[in-house]
Structure 1
């Protein structure tokens, strides 16, 4: 398995640090980053759940470039931005776990990452706002319930 090195003052660990693990275990919104055939990065919003400090599960839309990129090389990074300056980029090797999630009425599959590194990207003297979905309108309550059901299915699959 690969390892990640850097000359940056930001720490890179071979597993999820405790504060990131605690946050992502509950379920979070993240940005999955892959590399396309054109060698440029592609990103997509995804639901993310940490199973333990070495495995992270995330959703992938069937109609996205992300699915093709993952199917081709299995490599990805996931950006997590949480509360209290919790900012991490997680890198790893990925595999498909479930073709279709049953808890959501969309064409979304479940992938799992074996973590090879988690880089602390916190900002000194400032903190970005957490990445989150703000459901609105008449479907807000229903979408919040759906999201929680998705997180549950992601943990149990």
Structure 2
């Protein structure tokens, strides 16, 4: 398996990031300069060159991005693991029509790299379950995804 490097999402990866999905983001901690990794699920790619995600407006990631715009998003899908790096900015301090105080961050993609180790493939993608009211979760997820699309 070659580690092909792209400068945008591929046709196979774009649809994976157009719905709620488990991903990891890594920012540079604004206080100590070390990596700060977070698991998130509200993610949306409006096109092959950008990815948006929503996090609580008080999230450490927001302050990290304001101080250092470098970011890496890790995506597991399409039988592999991908590192997507770029520059992040806060697109909306507060998402409209969402009951929670969420900020929307936009990543301008610079590099997409397949980082799966040689001779292996992902046989099962990560799954998660919401631990609160299913109906309320589905409603909130729709509101957040719609707001990110409009941001």
Which of the five TM-score ranges fits, normalised by the shorter chain? 0.7 to 0.9
Identify the residue that residue 68 of structure 2 maps to in structure 1: 73
Any residues of structure 2 matched to 1:5-24 within 5 Å, and which?
A: 9-24=2-17
Identify the residue that residue 20 of structure 2 maps to in structure 1: 27
Q: TM-score, normalised by structure 2?
A: 0.85
CA contact (8 A) 1:24 1:50 kept: yes
Unaligned runs of 5+ in 1: 1-7
Determine if the alignment matches structure 1 residue 156 to structure 2 residue 150. Answer: yes
Cα deviation 1:55-92 (Å, max 9, x = unaligned)? 1111132222211110112111111123x414211101
Determine if the alignment matches structure 1 residue 101 to structure 2 residue 95. Answer: yes
CA distance in 1 between counterparts of 2:146 and 2:128 reads 17
Structure whose residues are more often helix by fraction: 1
Unaligned runs of 5+ in 2: none
Secondary structure of 1:127's counterpart equals coil
CA contact (8 A) 1:79 1:90 kept: yes
Superposition RMSD in Å = 2.1
Q: TM-score, normalised by structure 1?
A: 0.82
Larger deviation, residues 23-32 vs 47-56: 23-32
Secondary structure of 2:12's counterpart equals helix
CA distance in 2 between counterparts of 1:48 and 1:24 reads 6
Shift of the 35–129 alpha-carbon distance from structure 1 to 2, 3 Å rule, reads farther
